[in-house]
Amino acid sequence: MLEVKNLTKIYSDGTVALKNVSFTVQDGEFLVVIGLSGSGKSTLLRCINRLIDPTEGDILWNGVNTTTAGTKELRVIRRKIGMVFQHFNLVKRSSVMTNVLCGRLGYVSPAATLIGRFSRQDTERAYRAMDMVGIRDQAKKRADELSGGQQQRVGIARALMQEPEMILADEPVASLDPVLAHTILGYIEKINQQTGVTVLCSLHYLDLVQRYATRVIGLKAGEIVYEGTKNDILNMTDTQFKEIYGEEAQRVGTGSITGGTQL
């Protein structure tokens, strides 16, 4: 269980990215975070695995307070939280295999990685992860030779290597076309449903939100302005929408599950 309590993040330049945010995520949920660009979605996800240090508030994960974790504790916390990025963030010049193996870094000793060796088990695990997202035959290619969709699958395989209990996905399909978006979210959903991994995912397309989310929170200017279940989002009203997306936002194709309805 993940508990976010009164989380506030103020960047060094004074930008208030998150304001007193609190919510709880039960194990196995597929929680979608929606909100305009700049509303604080990325900041929120990065606070959870401490890529960003929160200014105030607590994050309890399975009872452990991540905000006060030391270097060693943090390593143990992070390796159980996989992360998937909008721009994939693969090490472009390394091979697909090396990128997937990177997901194991939290488990191996730094001395071993100095020599650049991973164990046989890790290599086998990498092949299994690649099989799961259908990229085994790309293993030897350089990461930047792959298409966007393939790169994101490498990103998912890398997260899988961590044997995660939770996956943070920061707009994982925002750089992909709608068909690919379904494929990628399909993989994440499969992981969520088959292994019970909790998913926190920020999304931009309403139909994707309605299709995959089990619960939704809406951010606006760093504050939670909406919280709802799958049913709630299917029946979302225009007023609630404007709350999240501002006056100028139009809701196109209400409730539509097909097509790329963009908020």
Partner 1 sequence: MNTHPSVRVLPPPAAGLLSLIFPGLGQLCTGAVRKGLLISTSFLTLTALGLWRVSVLAHRETGWIDKLQKALSRQPGFMMLVILLFAAVWLTSIWDAYFLAQKRKKDRSAKGRNIIFALILTHFFVIGWQIAEIDLVKMVQKFPDTIPPLLKILMPWEAAIHRDRIEVDAKARILVDSEGEIPPVPEMIEGQPYIQVEPRTGKLSRMDSQGNIVEGTAVTIEGSGYAPLTEVQIFWNDAVGNAFRPRIDGTYAGTMTDAKGSFSYRMTMPYRLVPPSADGPQYHTVEGRQLQGMGSPKPSEPLVLTVQLIIETIFMGMMATLFGIIFSIPISFLAARNLMFGSLWSKILYYITRTILNIIRAIEPLIWALIAVVWVGLGPFAGILALTIHTIAALGKLYSEAIENIDPGQIEAVQATGATKLQTIIHAVIPQMIPPFVSFTIYRWDINVRMSTVIGMVGGGGIGFLLVQYIRLLDYRSAGIAVWFIAITVSILDYVSAEIRNKFI
Q: Residue numbers of the site for partner 1 (CB under 8 A)?
A: 49, 51, 71, 74-79, 81-83, 85, 87, 89-94, 98, 102-107, 110, 113-114, 116, 155, 158, 161-162, 168
Cα separation, 102 vs 98, in Å, equals 6
The binder of ligand ADP chosen from 17, 96, 135, 209 (CB under 6 A): 17
Rounded to the nearest 10 degrees, the angle between the axes of helix 120-132 and helix 148-161 is: 130
Select the binding partner of residue 40 from ligand ADP, partner 1, Mg ion, none (C-beta < 5 to 8 A, by kind). ligand ADP
| Residue nearer to Mg ion on the CB measure, 81 or 219 | 219
- The answer to whether 41 and 219 are in contact (CB under 8 A) is yes
Is the Cα torsion angle 44, 48, 54, 58 positive or negative in sign? positive
For position 249 contacting ligand ADP by CB under 6 A, the verdict is no
Rg (CA), the chain: 18
Task: Write the CB contacts of 221 (distance below 8 Å, at least 6 apart in sequence).
Answer: 19, 39, 40
Per-residue CA distances from 15 to 18, 39, 53, 218 (Å)? 9, 11, 14, 19
Q: Pick one of 1, 6, 11, 190: the residue that binds ligand ADP (CB under 6 A).
A: 11
From 25, 30, 32, 42, residue interacting with ligand ADP (rule: CB under 6 A): 42
> Pick from Mg ion, partner 1, ligand ADP, none: which does 39 bind, CB < 5 to 8 A by kind?
ligand ADP
6: number of Cβ within 10 Å: 13
For 116, residues 6+ apart whose C-beta sits below 8 A from its C-beta are none
Is residue 41 at the binding interface for ligand ADP, with CB under 6 A as the rule?
Answer: yes
Among 25, 40, 167, 188, interactor with ligand ADP by CB under 6 A: 40
Residue 192 in the binding site for ligand ADP (CB under 6 A): no
C-beta of residue 161 within 8 angstroms of C-beta of residue 104:
yes
- The minimum distance between CB 130 and partner 1, in angstroms, equals 16
Cβ–Cβ < 8 Å for 38, 222? no
115 binds, among partner 1, ligand ADP, Mg ion, none (CB under 5 to 8 A by kind): none
Instruction: For residues 150 and 144, give the distance between their C-alpha atoms in angstroms, rounded to a whole number.
Output: 10
Residue type, 74: L
- 218 counts as binding ligand ADP under rule CB under 6 A: no
Task: Assess 39 for contact with Mg ion (CB under 5 A).
Answer: no
Q: Does 103 bind ligand ADP (CB under 6 A)?
A: no
Asked if 42 is part of the footprint of Mg ion (rule: CB under 5 A), the reply reads yes
- Residue 49 interacts with, from partner 1, ligand ADP, Mg ion, none (CB under 5-8 Å by kind): partner 1
Instruction: Decide: is 39 part of the binding site for ligand ADP (CB under 6 A).
Output: yes
State whether the Cα torsion 42-83-86-233 is positive or negative: negative
User: Which stretches of the chain bind ligand ADP, using CB under 6 A?
Assistant: 11, 13, 15, 17, 35, 37-43
